[in-house]
Amino acid sequence: MNIAIPLYPRFTALDAVGPYTVLAFAPGCTVTFVAAEPGPVLDDRGSLSLAATASYGDLPTPDVIVVPGGPGTIEALSDAELLGWIARAHERTRWTTSVCSGAFLLGAAGLLKGRKATTHWGWLDQLAGFGAEPVSERVVIDGKIVTAAGVSSGIDMALTLLAAMRDEETAQAVQLAIEYDPRPPFAAGSPKTAPVGLSEKALALIN
């Protein structure tokens, strides 16, 4: 199972690394970071880079693609090379997935028309502009397209995907291997439970 994660300037690291860790632990899965050309790509903080080891052309037909989000999504929406690769790869993928604002890149590639999809809560309603039906859930599956909400939900998406690709026992084994047993110290992970006024501060951190 060949899995490709495209990188572009100012992606959010956890969007890519969360799913990477889950899927790279899975037996029979090979995960490759791809970009316009091989080499390091800086994240949205400008202080961490991941190395793409292949170009889009090197991996034209992966079985799975996982498109991360991040502040760089805005510029990436006009990246014809990236969008073209997503659209062409999707024709032959078993699963096409995104994390956070990566959903907008799926939309810009023409993949979300008439489909249910999710993204970060701060921009969820804007998915409708790409013909999608916005759904406020952590992971949304519509056909072979799987979208995840904000940042950390990519881990949930990858485990859900792994269960569909393999089986629940494999997904559970990986979950246990990485000790993914979330117990957040605050009930502030959703605008539904966060203190009043915190949403504005949270959005200011990631814009």
Q: Is 29 designated active site?
A: no
CB 61 within 8 A of CB 86: no
- φ, ψ for residue 173, nearest 5 deg: -65, -40
Measured CA to CA, the distance from residue 172 to residue 152 in angstroms comes to 18
Q: Are strands 145-148 and 95-99 parallel, antiparallel or unpaired?
A: parallel
- Taking CA atoms, 20 is separated from 6, 17, 123, 134, in Å, by 11, 5, 24, 25
Residues in the chain: 207
d(CA 59, CA 6): 10
Q: Spot the catalytic one: 14, 17, 99, 100.
A: 100
Which residues are catalytically annotated?
Answer: 100
